Copies of this chain bind each other. A is one copy, B any other.
Amino acid sequence: MNMSFLQELFSNITQRDALQRKFGNKKRSYDHRDLITACEELLHSDGEAASIVLASRALDIYQSLGDEEKQAFFEVLAKQFSADPDRIDKAYRDYRNDRSNKHLAVLFDVAEPLRQELLRRLNLAQGATYELVKMRQDFLALMKGHKDFESINADFVHLFASWFNRGFLVLKRIDWTTPASILEKIIRYEAVHKIEGWDDLRRRLDNRDRRCFGFFHPAIGDEPLIFVEVALTKGIPNRIQPILADEQYDIDAPELADSAAFFGISNCQVGLRGISFGNFLIKQVVQELKQELPNLKNFVTLSPLPMFRSWLEKTYHPDSGLLTPEAQATLSLLDNPDWAANEELQNRLNEVVRPLAARYLLKEKNSENLPLNPVARFHLGNGAELHRINWLGDVSENGMKQSAGLMVNYLYVLENIERNNEKYTMNGEIVCSPSVRELGKLGRKLFQGELEK
């Protein structure tokens, strides 16, 4: 297939933005009733002749509204742009009489909320896809406390899951030659380890020992959906600070690395919450890296352990009486803000905290019998293995507060991903390295009395 032809295709998408209905919302002030009227006109149009113009107009009006009017609009959406009960009743009756595909199709059709057709039609306008994503972002912020809004949310999710199907996403390397307009979004959207500005970004994108990839969608142009940052290292890294620091390089050519460490995955579009890309991203990036750098042997994350410390404090509260007095006393050293700087304290804590972290990851489950820790849930659910728990892996303020300074390596072994995933989803089994397992066992000694597990 000819790449360049395809590439040209996309001039349009870009030109559309150039046209942007810039003066659209200046003419007069609108309220939510104007928007409802515009939406009704759009739905009553034959879907063809005038639809693009009407869709464009409705989006213009929407953009001009303040939060209150937007909320009012969503309220009307929830109430009036639903489905026709009479038609549903009739379709169901027919279906009950004859449970044929034909009657099912009708039932499905009439049960579809009008909102979905509305969203599809709004999408006819130039640049509309991104505006609908932003509309959902507004919506999520306004949704709290509105039980009825759940259904609107379901409509968004249903359509976005279809539109942002993995088959339509495009993986793109991001580096220092990427347009500044995209790079500034990388700075803004980085959610895990803050990027401090352009110089910091430049270090993060240095070709010698870094890689960054993102998913993009043809119709929303230069807006990344999600991106991942990778450090190329010799050996599996156990600390984040050297990676974030603008300091000496471990290696000065990517070919010298044997490990690729994923140290940050950031979702960029609040409006796409619930549409998951991260798992596809990691696996595809592993393949890209394998192809570019055949020397790479380990594909691993360097991940935080969010909520670990608060869980620790709650679970092993002195009143709980779970730990041995010694272990309990050691644990309380965490309250000393300078423990990490004091070698003795540090060593003592190491012997308690890491084993407890191993147990936390291996044993603590949520109501669905999946790991309590969301990051663990994500990577283990993707088929990764729990590889190592790193002491003093993240000594930033945030790292100390959230993860008691720990960082975790999850290992992606392509050949094992499917099997791991199967074990995990079937039996809730967590594949982990012997050292982590050992660490978990070590934890037993910290407890008072017998431990069944």
Contact = CB atoms under 8 A, between A and B. Distances in A.
A interface: dominant SS: helix
A176 B180 contact: yes
Interface string A210-248: 000000101101100000000000000000000000000
Given A102-B150, A181-B177, A4 B5 contact: yes
A55 B197 CA distance: 40
A111 B113 contact: no
Interface residues of A, number: 96
A222 B112 contact: no
A167 B129 contact: yes
A253 B18 CA distance: 12
Contacts of A163: 162-163, 165, 168
Given A180-B176, A222-B177, A108 B108 contact: yes
B105 A150 contact: yes
Number of copies of this chain in the oligomer? Answer: 4
A17 interface: yes
Given A108-B112, A111-B108, A49 B171 contact: no
B113 A101 contact: yes
B46 A425 contact: yes
Given A3-B14, A101-B148, A107-B88, A177 B176 contact: no
A82 B102 CA distance: 11
A267 B53 CA distance: 24
Interface in A90-132: 92, 95-96, 99-102, 104-105, 107-109, 111-113, 120, 123-125, 128-129
Contact of A216 (B9, B104, B219, B417): B9
Interface string A393-404: 000000000000
B418 A2 contact: no
A48 B382 contact: yes
Nearest to A147: B102
* Central interface residue in A89, A101, A183, A425, by most chain B CB within 10 Å: A101
A10 to B, nearest CB: 4
A283 B278 CA distance: 39
Contacts of A105: 113, 150-151, 154-155
A148 B100 contact: yes
Nearest to A252: B22
Contact of A82 (B12, B101, B177, B280): B101
A171 B14 CA distance: 12
A10 B11 contact: no
A216 B421 CA distance: 37
A120 to B, nearest CB: 6
A198 B111 CA distance: 51
Given A162-B120, A177-B179, A280-B52, A104 B167 contact: no
29 contacts: A1-B13, A1-B177, A1-B221, A2-B181, A3-B14, A4-B5, A6-B11, A6-B14, A6-B218, A7-B8, A9-B218, A13-B170, A46-B381, A46-B425, A48-B381, A48-B421, A49-B381, A49-B421, A52-B283, A88-B104, A101-B152, A104-B111, A105-B151, A120-B162, A124-B165, A163-B165, A168-B219, A176-B179, A218-B218
Interface of A: 1-14, 17-18, 22, 46, 48-50, 52-53, 78, 82-83, 85, 88-89, 92, 95-96, 99-102, 104-105, 107-109, 111-113, 120, 123-125, 128-129, 147-148, 150-152, 154-155, 159, 161-163, 165-168, 170-172, 176-183, 197-198, 202, 216, 218-219, 221-222, 253, 276, 279-280, 283, 381-383, 417-418, 421, 425
Given A124-B165, A162-B162, 15 more contacts: A2-B181, A5-B178, A7-B11, A9-B216, A52-B166, A88-B104, A102-B150, A111-B111, A168-B168, A168-B218, A176-B179, A177-B179, A177-B222, A180-B180, A180-B198
